[in-house]
Structures are given as structure tokens and as C-alpha cells.
Amino acid sequence: QEFQFGPCRVEGVVLQKLWQAFWAVKDIVQAQDNITSVQLLRKEVLQNVPETESCHLIHALLRFYVNTVFKSYRDKAVEFGILKSFSILANNFFVIVSKLQASQEKMFSTRKTARRRFLLFHRAFKQLDREAAVTKAFGEMDILLSWMEKFYQL
Amino acid sequence: HIAEDTSDLLQHVKFQSSNFENILTWDGRPESAPDAVYSVQYKTYGEGEWLEKEGCQRITRKSCNLTVETGNLTELYYARVTATDGTGRSATKTTDRFNSLQHTIIKPPDVTCIPKVRSIQMIVHPSYTPIRARNGHQLTLENIFQGLLYRLKLRINHTYQMDLEGKQREFEFVGLTPDTEFLGTIMICIPNLFKESAPYVCQVKTLPDRTWT
């Protein structure tokens, strides 16, 4: 079981566990997001991503989730009583980011286009109120997991 | 101004999806609002506009088929219902965010069980869905879920059971006793999405062995 994001390989993460953790909290989290007219991880960010760009993009997205979304959402996770699922997701994302760190540094050619996609996401995030943006990003993890699944080999 | 409580007009607005047929359902207390009518809207998550569902405006039934409107497997959707009673009281409720790939329940497969003298053959028929490919072809569950497989069990007696599993559609349990009753169950499994259908059950009797008669 491993992820293969273009040239970047990540072993030791069980995708089903992430799905299980998210599904356990999905309705609670998404019910807090009342802005139904904005999708942060929209088509322009994740659709038709060439394999060569996938490593940069996933690294940028997951690093943002680890450093910003999870950091800011932890208190809410405690408040809603979903800390267990939250921790499973946060810890596994941290593992993936760490393992991606080494391999994606060697590649410079595809960074620009992957960066542009990430900035689309980041700009939409910045346009929202901070707390609303964090809640929305956490609630869109199923979109992220669905995209990651394409690079996952059982 | 005290907001009037209209929660009795409308409850449990949700999608019920099986094999990608997506039905919006809701409840309302008939005794408090016998003359209530309901109107349905839907939208794609991330878009601004709510769209009216034709055929589900000012209806009295408590369900609405949104299979076509919510048929894109990569999109997420919302739907909402507005209930209005005879006195003009109204209430609106919205579903959770819905994606049919994640939410649909898998129905039991359709199977033909063929008894022979010392074996039982099981042929699983394709499960068609309302989802169509770009070329218009109707997709089956196998087309949609790459990891789909079939899990078969044959109960021999109280203690002994045979198991088969695979992605093919034809299976055969062999080495059985002639002229004996067996209970077979067949399920569709999609391991990576934790989806499993209810079992299709077939009760069959192997044929008598007439070779020496």
C-alpha cells in the first residue's frame, strides 16, 4: 500500500483509515460550513493534474493543512468531541508531508505550474473569514482524499 | 418579534441513494399541516445559484428524484425543501453535503444459481446504474468502482462453509454431494470505500447422480 505521486513515493499510510476517520466526522464538520457557494478545492485546483506536478501540489496542499488548517481547527475538534478522528488525519498528513519533503526538493521543473494551482486554493482561502476558511478547508478533506486516491496503490 | 416555530412542518431532509439512484426524502407532521405543499431546489457545492427542480414544485408527496441533477460523480451537492401550509406558514431545510460516490448504498447483485450433480455454478449479472458515460453508455458498478469484487459463500452444513472471491462474474463451487440442498450467498464488496451490499441468497439442490442407475 503506497502513494505514488509522480516520482514521489509514500509508504506506510493506509488511505482507508483516513477515509474512516473523515467519514466519522464529516456531517458534523460540514454542517458548520454555511458558505455553500464557495469551494476551495475546486476543479481548477485538482482536475487534470499531470503526474509530474502531483508531488509538488500534494506537498504544498498537505503542508498547508498541517501548518494552518489542523493547527487552527484543533480547538474546534475538542469542542465538537472529534479529537480522535482529527488526530488520525493530522498525524497521517504530517507523515505524508515529511516523506514527500525529501523527494520533491530534487525537482524544480514542474514547481511553477503546481504552485499556480496551489495559489488558486490559497487565494480562495484568504478571501474568507479566517475561522470560516479553516472550517471549510477541513470539511473539504473528502475532495482531497478522493484526489489522493487516484495515486494510491493497494 | 418572536419567530414562529415551524419545525413541525419539515424534518429529516436527506438524500437516500442506492446504486446511484439519488432520491431526496423528508418528513412533515401530517396532523399539524395536512395541506402542506413542498418545493425542492438543489445546487452544486461551490456555485451560487439554487435551481428549482422541475416536477417537484408545490407537491404533496414527500420525495423527489434528483438522480439526474446530482449525477456527476466528482461533484458535491446540496438540496433544500420549502414546506408551506394552508395558513401560509413555511419552513426550509437543507441536506448535508452530498456526493453519490461516497454516499450511495450498493444493492445486492442479480445472480443465476445453476445446480449440477457435484457442483453449483453462480453467474453474477452486471449491475447497471443511471450514470452514463460521455458516449451515452450506461455504466455498471464494475465500471465505476475499480476495486469492486464479489464474495460468495456456500453453506455446506452447520459447521462447514465454502468461500470464493474475485472480480470475475462466473464462479463454481465443486466437489459437492449430489441430491443435496445448499444455501448460497453472494455480495458485492468495494473494499477501499468500505461498501458492501446486502447478500443475494439462493437455495439450490444438486442434481441426483444417475450414472449407475
- In angstroms, the CA B22 to CA B98 distance is 10
For the cut 60, the answer to whether the pLDDT of residue B87 exceeds it is yes
Question: Would you call B102 and A142 a contact, using CB atoms and an 8 Å cutoff?
Answer: yes
What's the longest Cα–Cα distance across chain B? Answer: 92
Question: Would you call A39 and B102 a contact, using CB atoms and an 8 Å cutoff?
Answer: no
Confirm whether B213 is domain-assigned: no
Query: Of B87, B103, B119, at which residue does a domain stop?
Result: B103
Cα-based torsion angle of the residue sequence A128, A22, A78, A137 in order, rounded to the nearest 10 degrees: -10
Query: What secondary structure letter does DSSP report for B105?
Result: B
Question: Would you call B99 and A42 a contact, using CB atoms and an 8 Å cutoff?
Answer: no
ipTM of the complex, rounded to two decimals: 0.89
pLDDT band at residue B30 using 50, 70 and 90 as cut-offs? low
Query: Of B52, B86, B103, at which residue does a domain stop?
Result: B103
Tell me the three cell numbers of residue A126: 484568504
Residues of A within an 8 Å Cβ radius of B: 15-16, 19-20, 23, 26-27, 30-31, 33, 36-39, 42, 47, 139, 142-143, 146, 149, 152, 154
**Do residues B90 and B149 both lie within one domain?**
no
Q: Can you give the pLDDT at residue B111? A: 97
The CATH number of whichever domain residue B86 belongs to comes to 2.60.40.10
Query: Which of the two residues, A112 and A133, has the higher pLDDT score?
Result: A133
The CATH number of whichever domain residue A25 belongs to comes to 1.20.1250.10
- Return the bridge partners of B187, or none: B151
Question: Would you call B96 and A31 a contact, using CB atoms and an 8 Å cutoff?
Answer: yes
**Do residues B80 and B144 both lie within one domain?**
no
| Number of inter-chain CB pairs under 8 A, A vs B | 43
Confirm whether B58 is domain-assigned: yes
Q: For the stretch B135-146, what's the b/e string if a residue is b when 16 or more beta carbons lie within 10 angstroms of its beta carbon?
A: eeeebbbbbbbe
Which residues form the domain of B128?
Answer: 110-205
Q: Report whether B183 contacts B166 (CB < 8 A).
A: no
Q: Can you give the pLDDT at residue B2? A: 55
Total structural domains within chain B: 2
Total structural domains within chain A: 1
For the cut 70, the answer to whether the pLDDT of residue B118 exceeds it is yes
Backbone angles phi, psi at B141, to 5 degrees: -60, -35
Task: State how far the alpha carbon of B138 is from the alpha carbons of A50, B123, B128, in Å.
Answer: 28, 21, 7
Average pLDDT (A7-18) is: 91
Q: Can you give the pLDDT at residue B58? A: 96
For the cut 90, the answer to whether the pLDDT of residue B81 exceeds it is yes
Confirm whether B140 is domain-assigned: yes
Query: Which of the two residues, B114 and B156, has the higher pLDDT score?
Result: B114
- Return the bridge partners of B196, or none: B189
Q: Report whether B193 contacts B199 (CB < 8 A).
A: no
**Do residues B118 and B90 both lie within one domain?**
no
Q: Can you give the pLDDT at residue A51? A: 85
Average pLDDT (B93-114) is: 96
In B, minimum Cα distance to A136 occurs at B46
Query: Which of the two residues, A128 and B212, has the higher pLDDT score?
Result: A128
- In this prediction, what percent of chain B has a pLDDT beyond 90? 81
Query: Of B52, B82, B103, at which residue does a domain stop?
Result: B103
Confirm whether B114 is domain-assigned: yes
For the cut 90, the answer to whether the pLDDT of residue B170 exceeds it is yes
Q: Can you give the pLDDT at residue A106? A: 57
The pLDDT mean for chain A works out to 91
Chain A interface includes B6 (CB < 8 A): no
Which residues form the domain of A90?
Answer: 2-153
In A, minimum Cα distance to B98 occurs at A27
Sheet holding B77-84, edge to edge: B51-52, B37-44, B77-84, B90-94
Q: Which residue has the cell 413542498?
A: B38
Question: Would you call A37 and B193 a contact, using CB atoms and an 8 Å cutoff?
Answer: no
**Do residues B99 and B115 both lie within one domain?**
no
Q: Can you give the pLDDT at residue B68? A: 96
**Do residues B53 and B117 both lie within one domain?**
no
Lowest mean pLDDT among A99-103, B37-41, B184-188, B200-204: A99-103
**Do residues B158 and B74 both lie within one domain?**
no
Question: Would you call A36 and B43 a contact, using CB atoms and an 8 Å cutoff?
Answer: yes
